[in-house]
Structure 1
Amino acid sequence: MEATREQDRDRLARVLHTLRMRSTFYCHAELTSPWALEMPAIADSVSFHVVTAGTCWLQLPDEKPLELRAGDLVLVPHGLGHLLLSEPDATPSQRVDLLPQQYLSEHYSLLRHGGGGSTAQLICGIVSFDEPAARLLMRSLPSLLFVNGSSVSAAASIHDTLRLMASELGHPQPGGEAVATRLADILVVQAIRGWLGTAEDATRGWLGALQDDRIGRAIEAIHDDPGHAWTLERLARVAAMSRSSFSAQFTRLVGESPIAYLTRWRMHVAHSRLRNEDTTAARLAAELGYQSEAAFNRAFTRIIGHTPGSIRRQRGR
């Protein structure tokens, strides 16, 4: 049983690794109370905030503020706008991207702001995605993901990553931003894995399906080789289940049938490659298991909402 749980965790780690997160901006903030910052909504992104000294509060729309202490890490997965506050009732808020700050590079700034009182220091980041498939993961997460810095589970790996990130961003040097970008990816993965180990609702939806020994194997097989000539029978064989039991269990956990999921994943892969590579619909159709370019184009347009040609033209701009 313990070996099975370890395999499930490894499977999740491998899936997260394929989701190519891209860190787009960092800010090292030195704030003195009173202060109130508005973090604008940014679609298809995850914001993270790490308190390295002092305390502050984070508030999502229509929710109660959450106190953050030194060592705490919080993720806002759905690109939601939110507030960071020195106290729960601090006003008025100011958009952080409109405040004067020292830009140490195109993707990293130092912000000093506030009224001169008690000090809080934060490292904030925005992580976006090169692959639309990452949205499958993000949709499975809660609106706020909090990692308590004093918890035993956070004390080792996350704290080590935070120290490395603070060092890289605090002492800029050649290659430091690239290192910090990879560390941000690691932080997001660590936070998600920490949440999976403690949250009661982490066994639902897509993430829950990954942790199911049999259904998880089938999902991983699709991710590893989306162009394979998968059928319901072949996927059921990977899961070591009958076709009817596999189809019912997969649909219950994932929310769509195995073949619908396969098609959607293929289109996510195709979308990513059209955006990031010099490729064609005809080539992708052949590589992703379609007998004709026309069939591939119909599936792509139905799921993505745009034609493959329009995505290629956007890349060429």
Structure 2
Amino acid sequence: MDVLPPPAPRPPGWGDPIAETLELAGARCVLTRGFTYAGRWALAFPPPGRIKVHAVLEGTTWLVMDGVQEPQPLQAGDVVVLAGDRRYVLASDPAVAPVEALPLLKATVEPFHHTGPPGVRDVTALSGHVELEAPGKDLLLGALPPLMHMRAGSVEAPAVRWLLHEAFHEMREDRPAASFVADHLARLLFVHVLRTFLAEADAFPAGWLRALADEQIAPALRLMHGDPARQWTLAELARATAMSRTSFADRFKAVAGVPPVTYLYNWRIRLARRSLWREDTPVAELASALGYASESAFSNAFKRTTGMAPRHYRHSARMAGTAPVPVAASSGSGSP
């Protein structure tokens, strides 16, 4: 049996698709508001248009979300992550008629908002969102289901409860560098939530995250992420997963949503977008680093996917201060 050559030395974390995608997306979880509730109440929130995080520290509340058939009870220690554009309601009881939350929140700059009789607290919660940079925004948002509910009894729950309480104290007591500390705690919180759901591949739609959660496919993903410039063959990737080429190809497309070659192509383009936006690497050097035989081959592939030539993309990104979103609507079906 042929043996794959050992990979070249890589920095720590190289080949970890989760870590690399969070870095690519510039994922940054920010705790934006604390909530205390008492009595009967219900607040309606508009579609977040981003990844929203809501964590219950004490008490019980209910989540009612468009497209989710049953109201979800949220207990102390539970965390929910909402991805996409669906309106939702947080309430003491699903039967309570909600009021719009944003006008109430905009009326005060206090870090904690209270709903109900003064001096009474039945529920304490923290809310925040995940900020994403354009190069990986579509990748991360497209991989997450509309609702992820991490229950207090899950394996990650003890660490998450500690993080929540630390963030709560930082926000409530307004300690020196509190926002800096809370931001780092919130990043860890989001990673723990993702780890919880990686144990259940079926919780995700077809995509890179579901593929990573699939034990059969994950070895192939790590190979491609560990050396994206290599011209990986179907035989090599299948051998790494101990599957036949046909079984591997079918399994990969079922869980990743695209064939292996297309996945590698898309990943290279996303790496290129990040590099063009953040770095001054010459286009020819970037093309070689990503496994393209020539600068023109890379430029053609990049333009086919993003609608812009690499140099134009870099110029537009620098002028706008953010990476442009691809406009070509390509599925990335071209050659890597």
Letter of the 1:253 counterpart:
V
Match of 1:91 in 2: 98
SS at 1:273 equivalent: helix
Q: Is the 1:41–1:79 Cα contact (8 Å) retained in structure 2?
A: yes
Match of 2:167 in 1: 165
Distance in 2 (alpha carbons) for counterparts of 1:219 and 1:297: 25
Match of 2:188 in 1: 186
Matches within 5 A, 1:121-160: 121-130=124-133, 132-133=135-136, 135-149=138-152, 151=153, 153-160=155-162
Distance in 1 (alpha carbons) for counterparts of 2:176 and 2:227: 37
Match of 1:100 in 2: 107
Match of 1:3 in 2: none
Q: Is the 2:31–2:126 Cα contact (8 Å) retained in structure 1?
A: no
The number of residues matched between the two structures is 299
Taking a change above 3 Å as real, the CA distance of residues 301 and 233 of structure 1, as seen in their structure-2 partners, is same
Structure ranking higher in helix proportion: 1
Give deviations 1:71-125, integer Å, cap 9, x for gaps. 221111235442223332233223268522225xxxxx33334465754221101
**How many percent of aligned residue pairs carry the same amino acid?**
32
Match of 2:29 in 1: 23
Deviation at 1:156, TM superposition (A): 1.9
Counterpart pick for 1:53 among 49, 58, 62: 58
Distance in 2 (alpha carbons) for counterparts of 1:178 and 1:264: 34
Give deviations 1:206-239, integer Å, cap 9, x for gaps. 4443244442111111112222333334434444
Distance in 2 (alpha carbons) for counterparts of 1:175 and 1:272: 30
SS at 1:301 equivalent: helix
User: Which runs of 5 or more residues in structure 1 are unaligned?
Assistant: 1-10, 104-108
Distance in 1 (alpha carbons) for counterparts of 2:175 and 2:155: 31
Q: CA RMSD in A?
A: 3.2
Q: Is the 1:34–1:90 Cα contact (8 Å) retained in structure 2?
A: no
Q: Is the 2:212–2:221 Cα contact (8 Å) retained in structure 1?
A: yes
Q: Is the 1:83–1:93 Cα contact (8 Å) retained in structure 2?
A: no
Distance in 2 (alpha carbons) for counterparts of 1:166 and 1:156: 15
Letter of the 1:127 counterpart:
V
SS at 1:125 equivalent: strand
Matches within 5 A, 1:63-102: 63=68, 64-78=70-84, 80-88=86-94, 89-95=96-102, 99-102=106-109
How high is the TM-score relative to the length of structure 1? 0.79
Distance in 1 (alpha carbons) for counterparts of 2:289 and 2:129: 33
Distance in 2 (alpha carbons) for counterparts of 1:175 and 1:300: 42
Matches within 5 A, 1:227-242: 227-242=229-244
Distance in 2 (alpha carbons) for counterparts of 1:96 and 1:55: 24
Match of 2:9 in 1: none
Taking a change above 3 Å as real, the CA distance of residues 301 and 86 of structure 1, as seen in their structure-2 partners, is farther
Q: Is the 2:276–2:313 Cα contact (8 Å) retained in structure 1?
A: no
Letter of the 1:37 counterpart:
L
Q: Is the 1:28–1:110 Cα contact (8 Å) retained in structure 2?
A: yes
Give deviations 1:120-175, integer Å, cap 9, x for gaps. 221101012236446445434332111222x2535422222222222332333344
Matches within 5 A, 1:253-264: 253-264=255-266
Counterpart pick for 2:301 among 299, 302, 317: 299
Deviation at 1:267, TM superposition (A): 1.0
Give deviations 1:6-57, integer Å, cap 9, x for gaps. xxxxx9x9432221321245211233444443433343x3111111233322
Distance in 1 (alpha carbons) for counterparts of 2:276 and 2:51: 23
SS at 2:33 equivalent: strand
User: Which runs of 5 or more residues in structure 2 are unaligned?
Assistant: 1-12, 321-336
Taking a change above 3 Å as real, the CA distance of residues 180 and 131 of structure 1, as seen in their structure-2 partners, is farther
